[in-house]
Amino acid sequence: HEERVRHEGLREKIMSAEQAASFVQNGMTLGVAGFTGAGYPKFVPTAIANRAKDAHARGEAFGIGMLTGASTSHDCDGVLAEANCINFRAPFQSDPAMRNHINAGNTHYVDMHLSHFEQQVRFGFYGDMDIALIEATGITPEGKIIPSMGIGTNNQWLKTAKKVIIEVNSRQSMMLDGMHDIPADLGEPPFRQPIPIVKPDDRIGTPYLECDLDKIIGIVMTDAPDRNSKFADPDENSKTIASQIIEFLDHEVKKGRLPKNLLPLQSGVGNVANAVLMGLQDSPFDDLMGYTEVLQDGMLDLVLSGKMKSASATALSFSPDALKRFNDNIEFLSDKLVLRPQEFTNHPEVIRRLGIIAMNAMIEADIYGNVNSTHIMGTKMMNGIGGSGDFTRNSHFSFFVSPSTAKGGAISTIVPMVSHHDHTEHDVMFLVTEQGFADLRGKSPRQRAKLIIDNCAHPDYRPMLQDYYDRAAKASGLQTPHLLNEALSWHQRFVETGDMRINKMRLAV
Ligand code: 0RQ
């Protein structure tokens, strides 16, 4: 596999994962590649985890900070969390072991808008970065780095870090060469230049990542797949949610308020978001465009079928079957997909200019349209806000989707007050559950409450929400009526009894 490292000098730096890991010392901050389980390092993290375990067994401290693009996988986040060596983590994760460490208080976690992260590291808000650990598909004779299935923050980590370790993964197709678009620096405030992306498929940079070659201290050859999580087949709820969104978009096209090929689409992570894209396959729209951060199975299939003519993203995160379809058709896809740094895919300037239709999943919404994307019962971290805030606040249309209940009906995803705020009432335009669709545009909080309760809440919870609202409207200020001593009582009831429903609580008491 070593022929993938075509630069003579760099070939001499090929070493084992253990040798590369030996550069990592207690207290260091690492900039690690990875975005939604794509393009993360596969071998060196385990070797670092083993170093940590050995150090701990000797009674020595070994803890590091880890900054990524977004989530990685068990063989990166998971093994490091299990070795109890991540003191600090940002800006997005979704690995169960890492999540447990965060929620157990062992790891400080900063949950960030993904578009902000590279510039905040550049501004020095996160201190020095000791080592960048990234994945590549290959290295050119000139020492340019051919990225793999994601860019995320790699461009920045290569520039910021004092030293660089590169995993060259021969499992990634060499045909990825040319699919990436790495823009040149646009300067810093107050002299930063505009981003010249005016169409979703514009390319404004070069296909390669570059860094000072003297900083590269190790190259590790790997041959391992990305996370490649399987998606559940869309269930009835997801299909109902998808069809309502499509019906609404169709209506807007017929009224002449949207072009026939819609506006560029962003879709978030998860099964429901993926189901919406699958639903578009049988929709009346053609020549769709994608401008998203993570491109999953649903969007890939839209491009493969010709429904979507191009898609821009920062990472390709596929199920095993979709990965096969991707690799089998990579030549056809090569001029239709473009992968960029997350600072560009998620940039408010571009999102506002292109007029994106943003669709993201949520944990819960309240009757006034505030959305929680990140915290379970207000205290436990799920994954993180990811790019949902970048897109929601700046898009042309912002949708949030969720089934109306979770955990077999014991949780209502429509609550009196969200237990954590990620997206405020000012940013959320549409809420869609399997029960119905609430168009919140131009509505006051009291008008929104009526729509959300009537259209989106599950029938088991609708009378409870109406009762809460009616009593709040009698007892409190009428701009946004609330009963402050009851607003979070549904969550408290769930924590105490395992069910948000009042009659279930009485049974349990
Ligand atoms: O848990 O699997 O243990 O039953 O949360 O819920 O319904 O499968 O939904 O996979 O689409 O994830 C918001 C987490 C939704 C995701 C979130 C439980 C539910 C289940 C998952 P179980 P579903 P999804 C671009 C955009 C933030 C980042 C983002 C997310 C599990 O979409 O992380 O948008 N979003 N990025 O049972 C308690 C509730 C619940 C609940 C659901 N109200 N209370 N548990 N669950 N609702 C991508 C990037 O930024 C990288």
Atom of ligand 1 nearest to the CA of 422: 27
CA of 363 to the centre of ligand 1 (A): 6
pLDDT digits (tens, 9 = 90+) for 425-442: 999 999 999 999 999 999
First to last CA, the chain: 64
Distance (Å) of CA 349 to CA 105, 150, 390, 394: 36, 22, 10, 8
Ligand 1 atom having least distance to the Cα of 35:
51
Mean pLDDT of the chain: 96
Reported as a single tens digit per residue, the pLDDT across 300-333 is 999 999 999 999 999 999 999 999 999 999 999 9
Nearest CA to ligand 1 atom 6: 363
Residue 47 alpha carbon to ligand 1 centre in Å: 31
Contact 34, 69 (CB under 8 A): yes
For ligand 1, the distance from its centroid to the CA atom of residue 65, given in whole angstroms, is 25
* Ligand 1 center to 373 CA (angstroms): 7
Minimum-distance ligand 1 atom for the alpha carbon of 363: 47
Atom 33 of ligand 1: nearest residue by CA position:
383
The complex scores an ipTM of 0.97
Residue 210, class by beta-carbon neighbours within 10 Å (0-12 exposed, 13-18 middle, 19+ buried)?
middle
The reported pLDDT for the residue numbered 234 is 86
Cβ neighbourhood burial of 315 (10 Å; 0-12, 13-18, 19+): buried
CA distance 423 to 431: 12
Q: Is the CB of 407 under 6 A from ligand 1?
A: yes
So what's the pLDDT on residue 496?
A: 96
Q: What percent of the chain has pLDDT over 90?
A: 94
Ligand 1 mean position to 173 CA, how many Å? 31
Report pLDDT digits (tens) over 205-239: 999 999 999 999 999 999 999 999 887 888 899 99
Contact 91 CB / ligand 1 (< 6 Å): no
- Ligand 1 in reach of 381 Cβ (< 6 A): no
Sign of CA dihedral 335, 337, 340, 345: positive
315 lines ligand 1 (CB under 6 A): no
Q: For ligand 1, say whether the CB of 298 is within 6 Å of any of its atoms.
A: no
What burial letters (b/e) apply to 230-249, b meaning 16+ CB within 10 Å? ebeebeebbbbbbebbbebb
Ligand 1, atom 3: nearest CA belongs to which residue? 407
Q: What is the mean pLDDT of residues 190-202?
A: 98
* Known active-site residue 142: no
Give residue 276's pLDDT band: very low, low, confident or very high (50, 70, 90): confident
pLDDT value of residue 508: 43
Q: Is the CB of 364 within 6 Å of ligand 1?
A: yes
**Which atom of ligand 1 lies at the shortest distance from residue 364's CA?**
43
pLDDT > 70 in the chain, percent: 99
pLDDT band per the 50, 70, 90 thresholds, residue 279: confident
Can you give the pLDDT at residue 509? 40
Is the CB of residue 289 less than 8 Å from the CB of residue 313? no
Using the CB atoms, write b or e for 360-371: b if 16+ within 10 Å: bbbbbbbbbbbb
Instruction: Report which of residues 68 and 271 the model is more confident about.
Output: 68
Confidence of residue 9 (pLDDT cuts 50, 70, 90): very high
Assess whether the C-beta atom of 361 lies below 6 angstroms from ligand 1. Answer: yes
User: Which one is catalytic: 82, 293, 343, 425?
Assistant: 293
pLDDT band at 507 (very low <50, low <70, confident <90, very high): very low
**What amino acid is encoded at 389 in this protein?**
G
pLDDT at 47: 98
Nearest CA to ligand 1 atom 5: 363
Residue nearest to atom 42 of ligand 1 (CA): 363
Asked whether 240 lines ligand 1 (CB < 6 A), one says no
Q: What is the arithmetic mean of pLDDT over 487-509? A: 82
Q: How many angstroms does the Cα of residue 404 sit away from the middle of ligand 1? A: 13
What confidence tier does 122 reach under pLDDT thresholds 50, 70, 90?
very high
CB 276 less than 6 A from any atom of ligand 1: no
Distance 441 CA to ligand 1 centre (A): 24
Judge whether residue 270 has pLDDT over 90.
no
- pLDDT over 90 at 271, yes or no: no
Q: Where are the alpha helices (DSSP H) in 379-501?
A: 388-394, 445-451, 462-475, 489-497
380 lines ligand 1 (CB under 6 A): no
pTM over 0.90: yes
Of ligand 1's atoms, which has the minimum distance to the CA of residue 406? 37
Cα 29 to Cα 435: distance, rounded to the nearest angstrom: 46
The predicted pLDDT at position 351 comes to 98
Secondary structure (DSSP) of 320-384: HHHHHHHHHTHHHHTTTEEE-BHHHHT-HHHHHHHT-EEEEE-SEEETTS-EESSEETTTEE-S-
- For the stretch 449-471, pLDDT in tens is 999 999 999 999 999 999 999 99
Q: Does 388 sit in the ligand 1 pocket, CB within 6 Å?
A: yes
